[in-house]
Amino acid sequence: MDVGTASMEDCAEPEVNAAVTPDRRVIELKGLVSAETVTPVIDQLQNAQPAEKLLIYIRANGGGEIRQLVLLIQALGTTQADVELAIGRYAMSAAATLWLWFLLDPIPGDDGVGRVVSVDPLKPAVLLFHRPRWPHASGGEYYCFYEDFEEESVRENLSKQVAIFDSLFERILALQGFGQVHAATVKHDGATYKHHLHFARDAYYGNNDYVISLNGVAA
C-alpha cells in the first residue's frame, strides 16, 4: 500500500483520477481486496482524527475477498474521518462494489466527521460488477455460485449474504430507469431487440459480468 499526498499536475493521465484538494491524504487500495491490502486502510480509518481528510484511491483493483470488503465497509461506517472514495481507470468486483456502495448510500457526516462519499472520476472509468462467487478449494480455475451448494443450511445463509449484492445491483438498474422500460424486447424488421438493461439483468443473474462505463468529469 502506498500513502502519499496527491498532486494534480496537468498531464494526460492524472496521478489520481479524481479532484483531490491538497489537504486530503491519499491512501491507495491497489491490486486486490485482501487482508494484506485492507488491514492497513482499516487501521488508518480507525486511527484518523475527527474530520481528517482522506481519499481512498481504488487503483487498478481486480477485487477479492468479500469478508475483507465488508470489514472495510464497516470501518468506513464507523470512522471519524472525512473520506472520499475514488477509482482509477477500472475497478472490478469487490473493488467496484466498494465505490458503488458509497455512491448509492453516502454518509453525510457531521461537519466532516464521519463523512464517506464516492467521488466522480476525472477521466472515464469502467466498473465490473457480478454476483459473489466461490472458488474451488484447490485453486482459482473453478468456481460456483450460492445456488450450487447442496446443503440447504449452507445455501440459506449464503443467499442472505448475496441478497445484499443483489440489492445494490437492482438499485443501479432502477437508477437507469429499469422500472420505466415498457418492454424487455421489441420486434422490428424480422429481428427481436432486447433492452440493454434487460441484457444487464440477464448477465448478472446468469452469473456473468455486468460492465458499467462511467464518464469522466474532466473536459
Partner 1 sequence: MKSLVASELRAKIDESRKPNASCGKDFTLARVRSFQDADLKLQEACARLGIDKPHMIASH
Contact footprint for partner 1 (CB under 8 A)? 32-33, 62-67, 69-70, 73-74, 76-78, 92-94, 97, 101-108, 114, 116, 118-121, 124, 128, 130-135, 137, 143, 149, 151, 153-154, 157-158, 160-161, 164-165, 174-176, 196, 209, 211-215, 217
> Considering beta carbons, is residue 5 or 36 the nearer one to partner 1?
36
CB 84, CB 54: distance < 8 Å = yes
| Contacts of residue 43, Cβ cutoff 8 Å, sequence gap at least 6 | none
> Considering beta carbons, is residue 26 or 99 the nearer one to partner 1?
99
CB of 9 to partner 1, least distance (A): 23
- Copy the grid coordinates of residue 192: 427481436
> Considering beta carbons, is residue 5 or 78 the nearer one to partner 1?
78
d(CA 184, CA 144): 28
CB of 161 to partner 1, least distance (A): 5
CB of 47 to partner 1, least distance (A): 19
CB 63, CB 34: distance < 8 Å = no
CB of 164 to partner 1, least distance (A): 5
> Considering beta carbons, is residue 53 or 109 the nearer one to partner 1?
109
CB of 167 to partner 1, least distance (A): 8
> Considering beta carbons, is residue 9 or 151 the nearer one to partner 1?
151
- Copy the grid coordinates of residue 207: 452469473
Sign of CA dihedral 87, 93, 94, 96: positive
* 3 sits in which H/E element: strand 3-5
16 burial via Cβ count (<10 Å: 0-12, 13-18, 19+): buried
The DSSP output letter for 74 is H
